[in-house]
Amino acid sequence: MSASLLYFGAILVVLGTSVYVGAALVMLAFGADAMSLGILPNMVGNIVWSTMNSYILIAVPLFVLLGEILSLSGVADRMYRSLANWVGWLPGGLVHANIATCALFAAASGSSVATAATIGTVAQPTLLRLGYDQKLVLGSIAAGGTLGILIPPSINIIIYGALTNTSIGRLFAAGILPGIVLAITMSLIVIVISLIKGSKAEKLEDQLTLAQRIRSLVNILPVMFVFAMVMGSIYLGIATPTEAAAIGILAALLLAALNGTLSIRMLHTAFESALKTTAMILLVIVGAFILNFQLSVTGVPQDFANWVVSLDLGKYGTIWLLVLFYAVLGCFLEAVAMLVTTIAVVYPLVIALGFDPVWFGIFIIVLMEMALITPPVGLNLFVVQNIRIKQGSILDVYIGVLPFVLAMVIFLAILIYVPQLALWLPSVLF
């Protein structure tokens, strides 16, 4: 256990110095190697080559680019207004539109940051004008944005699949029902808060007839079109996840052209942003594989597993211990960093306990969602704070997101004791 404590402590110390995550992982690996076997310098070239020579990882830059093009294409604004016509009558009103729009946009973009930034920019003007509680609005956008890494296609699911050699297609299928249930759980939390506290927000001025609402649903078709192209091509056996990402990009470009937003300037912005994000993600992945190699040869995963087994908590007690572990870790680490720095240690333990690797993939993705909105370093919290119209302290975002953290804990309990929620659809499709 001493080696595991030293490992996790070193991670927090190095990342606390604001060193880039990828560089921090490599530094830790070489530091540990210098104190033990001294073989890492001879192995780095092979590790980097074998990591990057991966067909699966080609999907990462493609899905990042897909999210960027969708964010700039203008489809989110129309989709938000359409969904607002359907959910505005619920207690909490248009806050539900934030969550529903995030869920649908996530089904095409695959990025939490892109989802939170896009929907936050679209939704805030209307919500502030109608007098909605700013904390609840900001919290719903930050939490709804996390659905981007659960509802497929998801960049983080691809990273988990690459790290654990788990089927991306099965993982994508496993994320659909949990994503829907988590979005509903968030909406139920909003309803409870609204019934307890009440709301002074105004209703939308223009109340549409049922026929008009039905016609407005055409505005959600663009995103559903991209989702169908990506996921349909995978499950019909037409394309691999990597090829499906390319198909999704073509669909997104078509939508941008139809919306009149396709231009050289838009493409330049999308490619530049996608390049920066991809470089960051792949550096983290390479650093993780280097560190994971070092951990495996020094026995840290086995050390950690032996300590957890010695606690004799049982199968479910161990899983709840991991929930607590990741909840604390998520207060200090960004989601991707949390995944890649712990998976080599935790994954063998969980599989040894008899849990399905596909189920565990969805489980850990939800924990990563919590990390995205857990103060003080949740990435989505900073995204929402940076795009908010009415400026104020980031404490508003921290307070607003806490009920949605509770929603995720409730959902985790459902996922733990009803594993078929994640495993049923993959069993049907594969």
What is the 3-class SS of 280-317, one letter each residue? HHHHHHHHHHHHHHHHHHHCHHHHHHHHHHHCCCHHHH
DSSP letter assigned to residue 230? H
State the average pLDDT over residues 258-263.
Answer: 87
For residue 199, is pLDDT > 70?
no
317 pLDDT band, cuts 50/70/90, is: very high
Give CA–CA dist 293/295, Å, rounded.
Answer: 5
DSSP letter assigned to residue 149? G
What's the mean pLDDT when you consider all of the chain?
A: 81
Look at 176 and 10; give whichever has higher pLDDT.
176
Hey, how many other C-beta atoms are within 10 angstroms of the C-beta on 178?
23
Give CA–CA dist 124/94, Å, rounded.
Answer: 10
What share of the chain in percent tops pLDDT 70?
84
State the average pLDDT over residues 375-402.
Answer: 80
188 pLDDT band, cuts 50/70/90, is: very high
Q: Are 426 and 361 a contacting pair, CB within 8 Å?
A: no
Q: Are 288 and 163 a contacting pair, CB within 8 Å?
A: yes
For residue 52, is pLDDT > 80?
no
Q: What is the pTM of this model?
A: 0.78
| pLDDT at residue number 423 | 95
Look at 96 and 23; give whichever has higher pLDDT.
96
| pLDDT at residue number 412 | 94
179 pLDDT band, cuts 50/70/90, is: very high
Q: One-letter amino acid identity for 220?
A: I
Give CA–CA dist 322/174, Å, rounded.
Answer: 20
Tens of pLDDT along 330-371? Answer: 776 667 777 877 888 889 889 988 999 999 999 999 998 888
Give CA–CA dist 371/365, Å, rounded.
Answer: 10
What are 337's two structure tokens? 């960093």
Nearest partner of 149 among 96, 102, 117, 101, judged by Cα: 102
The residues near 426 (Cβ < 8 Å, ≥ 6 apart) are 170, 171, 173, 174, 358
* Residue for token pair 């992945």: 285
